[in-house]
C-alpha cells in the first residue's frame, strides 16, 4: 500500500509501506476519502499543534471514510471515528470520551491517521453509512460531529439567536445546525468573502465582515435589540474570540471551538465579566456518528457543497498547499479513488 507521511515542515512524502495487519477486534479499512482539517494544517505548517510536536514521520488525517476490505463485513462503506479512548477512566465512564486523558487520536502525536490506502481500526469505531452519503460526505461526518458537540454545549433554545464566528467547514456546519435547531436569527461573521457567501447560501440570515465598523449596530438591528443568545467561535484566533464576546448579549454564552495556532487564547475580560457571560471550551466530540449520519441522510445538513477540491493520494503535498491558501472550503484526498 501507499501512505503519505509528514517528514518535516511542509514536507509530505508518498511512499509504499507494508499494509497494516488488523489486531483483535479490528477491521481493515480501504480508505476512500480524507478531509484536511485546520489542525492538519497546523502540523503541516508548524510541525505540531498545542503541546504535541512532530517526533517522527507521521501520517496525518483524522476525517476519513472507507470500505471494510475483508471479513464478514467486507464491502461495507463506513465513516471512521478517529478517537480511541481508553474506556475505563473516570471521564470515559462518565460519558465524556472526548476528555479521555490517554485517548489515541488518528494523525496526532505518534498515531498514524487516514492518509494511506489501508487502515486497521477498532470495529466499534467504524460506522456504516447509507448510499445517500458519498465517500466525501462520510469523511465530513467528523467535522460535522465537532460542530454538533459545540451546539450541544451551547444549549441553543428554540427561537434563539446564534452568531457563528468563523465560517470554514465546521463553522458552516454550525450555521446549518443552528438553522435546523430552530434559531430565528443566525448571524455569520467571517473575514473571507467566499466564506461569507457560503454562509449565506447555507442559511445565515445576516453575514458580516468582522472589520465592519457597524457590526454591533447591524447585529442589534437584525435581532431587534434582543442581541445574540449564543456565539460559537470556530476560527481559533483571539480576534474571533473578541468578536464573539462583543456580539453576545449580557447573560449569554460563548463556546470556543476553534483551535489557536499557539497554546494560548485571550479575550476582553472586562466585557465578559460585566456581561456575566458563560464561556465554554469545546473538545472534539462525544458519540456523534449516529446523529450526524441521520442529519445528513435526512437532508438537514448539506456536506457535499462544502467540498471544493479533491486530490489523489500522490498529490497530497499539493492538497496541503491548496488548503493552506484558504481559497476554498474543504480539501479532500482520495487514497483509493
CATH of domain 147-281: 3.40.50.720
Residues 6+ apart with CB under 8 A from 314: 2, 14
Residue 50 has pLDDT above 80, yes or no: no
In this prediction, residues 246-254 reach a mean pLDDT of 97
CATH topology for 2-128+303-334? Answer: Quinone Oxidoreductase; Chain A, domain 1 (3.90.180)
In this prediction, residues 29-46 reach a mean pLDDT of 95
| Pairwise CA distance, residues 43 & 6, whole Å | 8
Angle ∠(138,140,145) on CA atoms, nearest 5:
105
Residues 6+ apart with CB under 8 A from 94: none
3-state secondary structure of 79: strand
Residue 89 has pLDDT above 70, yes or no: yes
| Pairwise CA distance, residues 230 & 154, whole Å | 6
In this prediction, residues 217-245 reach a mean pLDDT of 96
When mean pLDDT is compared across 38-47, 161-170, 297-306, the lowest value belongs to 38-47
From the list 32, 10, 92, 18, the residue with the least C-alpha distance to 313 is 32
3-state secondary structure of 2: strand
Q: Quick one: pLDDT at residue 102?
A: 96
- Percent of the chain beyond pLDDT 70? 100
**Do the domains 2-128+303-334 and 147-281 sit in the same CATH topology, yes or no?**
no
Question: In angstroms, what CA-CA distances link 228 with 151, 251, 299?
Answer: 15, 10, 27
**Digit-coded pLDDT (tens) for 145-156:** 999 999 999 999
Give me the residue spans of the domains in the chain.
Answer: 2-128+303-334, 147-281
- Range 2-35 burial, b when 16+ CB lie within 10 A, else e: bbbbbeeeeebebeeeeebebeeebbbbbbbbbb
In this prediction, residues 199-227 reach a mean pLDDT of 96
pTM of the shown model:
0.95
Amino acid at each position: 500500500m501507499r501512505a503519505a507521511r509528514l517528514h518535516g515542515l511542509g514536507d509530505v512524502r508518498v511512499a509504499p509501506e507494508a499494509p497494516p495487519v488488523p489486531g483483535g477486534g479490528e477491521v481493515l479499512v480501504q480508505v476512500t476519502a480524507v478531509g484536511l482539517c485546520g489542525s492538519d494544517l497546523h502540523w503541516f505548517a508548524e510541525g505540531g499543534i498545542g503541546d504535541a510536536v512532530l517526533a517522527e514521520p507521521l501520517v496525518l488525517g483524522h476525517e476519513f471514510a472507507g470500505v471494510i476490505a475483508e471479513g464478514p463485513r467486507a464491502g461495507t462503506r463506513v465513516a471512521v471515528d478517529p478517537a480511541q479512548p481508553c474506556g475505563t477512566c473516570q471521564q470515559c465512564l462518565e460519558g465524556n470520551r472526548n476528555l479521555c486523558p490517554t485517548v489515541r487520536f488518528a494523525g496526532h502525536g505518534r498515531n498514524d491517521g487516514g492518509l494511506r490506502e489501508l487502515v486497521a481500526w477498532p470495529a466499534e469505531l467504524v460506522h456504516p453509512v447509507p448510499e445517500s452519503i458519498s465517500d466525501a460526505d462520510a469523511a465530513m461526518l467528523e467535522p460535522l460531529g465537532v460542530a454538533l458537540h459545540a451546539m450541544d454545549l451551547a444549549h441553543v433554545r428554540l427561537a434563539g439567536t446564534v452568531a457563528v464566528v468563523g465560517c470554514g467547514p465546521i463553522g458552516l456546519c454550525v450555521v446549518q445546525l443552528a438553522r435546523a435547531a430552530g434559531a430565528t436569527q443566525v448571524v455569520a461573521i467571517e473575514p473571507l468573502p467566499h466564506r461569507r457567501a457560503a454562509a449565506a447560501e447555507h442559511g445565515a440570515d445576516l453575514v458580516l465582515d468582522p472589520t465592519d465598523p457597524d457590526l454591533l449596530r447591524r447585529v442589534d438591528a437584525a435581532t431587534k435589540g434582543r442581541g445574540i443568545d449564543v456565539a460559537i467561535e470556530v476560527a481559533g484566533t483571539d480576534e474571533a474570540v473578541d468578536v464573539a464576546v462583543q456580539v453576545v448579549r449580557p447573560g449569554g454564552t460563548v463556546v470556543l471551538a476553534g483551535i489557536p495556532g499557539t497554546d494560548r487564547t485571550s479575550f476582553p475580560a472586562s466585557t465578559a465579566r460585566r456581561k456575566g457571560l458563560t464561556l465554554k471550551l469545546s473538545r472534539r466530540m462525544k458519540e456523534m456518528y449516529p446523529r450526524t449520519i441521520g442529519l445528513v441522510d435526512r437532508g438537514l445538513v448539506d456536506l457535499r457543497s462544502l467540498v471544493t477540491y479533491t486530490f489523489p493520494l500522490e498529490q497530497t503535498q499539493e492538497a496541503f498547499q491548496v488548503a493552506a491558501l484558504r481559497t476554498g472550503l474543504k480539501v479532500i484526498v482520495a487514497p483509493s479513488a
